[in-house]
Amino acid sequence: MSDAPAHSILCPKCGGTLFREEKIVELNSSVMVTRGMSVPSQVNKVTYQYACIACGHIIDEHFSGHLKVE
């Protein structure tokens, strides 16, 4: 049996292994977003951050896409 952790990412603050994915969308600041507006054409950048569910600590990594889970 391997001594490797079951998860490749552990929270450095509490050791938690469950994370919430937060999508961060940077919009063109010259556009006022209203209900029903087609937003994708106004998106400058999309990134993701991951927060520990147990303690809320934000992992100090910046991802430009989803993590691949195998």
List the alpha helices (DSSP H) in the chain.
Answer: none
The 10s digit of each residue's pLDDT in 4-49 is 555 577 898 999 989 998 888 888 777 677 787 766 667 888 888 8
Please enumerate in sequence order all residues whose Cβ is within 8 A of that of 55, keeping only pairs 6 or more positions apart, or say none.
Answer: 11, 13, 14, 16
Give the Cα-Cα-Cα angle 63, 8, 10 (nearest 5 degrees). Answer: 85
Predicted confidence at residue 26, as pLDDT, reads 85
Dist CA 51 CA 18 (whole Å): 9
Predicted confidence at residue 45, as pLDDT, reads 85
Predicted confidence at residue 25, as pLDDT, reads 84
List the alpha helices (DSSP H) in 2-52.
Answer: none
- The domain locations on the chain are 11-60
Predicted confidence at residue 4, as pLDDT, reads 55
Mean pLDDT of 47-69: 76
Predicted confidence at residue 67, as pLDDT, reads 54
Amino acid, single-letter form, for residue 2: S
